[in-house]
Amino acid sequence: MAARSRGAFVVLEGGDGSGKTSVLEALRRQFPEAVVTREPGGSPYGEAIRSVLLTHPQASEADGMTHLLLHYAARRDHLRTVVIPALVQGKLVLCDRFAASSWAYNVRAQECDACAELFPTLHQYVVGSWEPDLYLWLAVAPEEARKRRTGGGNHYDARDAAFHTRVYEGYEEFFERYRGKVVRIDAAQPLFRVIEQATGAIQAHLHATQGRMV
């Protein structure tokens, strides 16, 4: 399916402890017409893959390549069944995580050189012309994020400090490529400020592209 006149695809990104969940809930209230979704998951089949990725007893033993391929399998189904249909209908899609997380967690944090080589080709085949229109990066230093994490999450949450430092560096590296599409928000600010800035960034994008919105 080729890209046509379409809605807006906005992605929230950030490491564990960045406050994405709280911000996304606030955005859900600010933009009640939006389709709010997440990755990995978002579709029934994608959610099944999410369970294997994050909570299967052997998930932490799988390597970066296995994780990357599973993430992109879930992404393909999510795009095909949820995101693209919503965009074709002219809707605003707010998604918790997308390709930046795959790069940060599976390529850089898991130190997978083969993943780095495969990533551009895999991403092009799976995502194609349906790239996000706007990334909101909730950036918080790894040390601060560690203080915020409460435990009880998935196997990524339980990784050591060096892993989460590489995650942060992976985000920095990814967003060097997408400077025109990313708004970096200091997630160490009070939550209400983060929400204000995220809301403002989306409103500004919608205003700038309103001629394209159905």
Tokens of 50: 């999410």
Ordered by where they begin, the domains of the chain are 8-208 (3.40.50.300)
Question: For every one of its 214 residues, what pLDDT tens digit does the chain have, with 9 covering 90 and above?
Answer: 444 468 999 999 998 888 999 999 999 999 999 999 999 999 999 999 999 999 998 998 999 999 999 999 999 999 999 999 999 999 999 999 999 999 999 999 999 999 999 999 999 999 999 999 999 999 998 777 676 655 556 777 768 789 999 999 999 999 998 888 999 999 999 999 999 999 999 999 999 987 444 3
SS3 15: coil
Q: Which residues are bridge partners to 37 per DSSP?
A: 95
Q: Within a 13 Å sphere around the CA of 93, how many CA atoms are in the beta-carbon half?
A: 31
The stretches of the chain forming alpha helices (DSSP H) are: 20-30, 44-55, 64-78, 84-88, 99-101, 113-127, 142-148, 161-176, 191-208
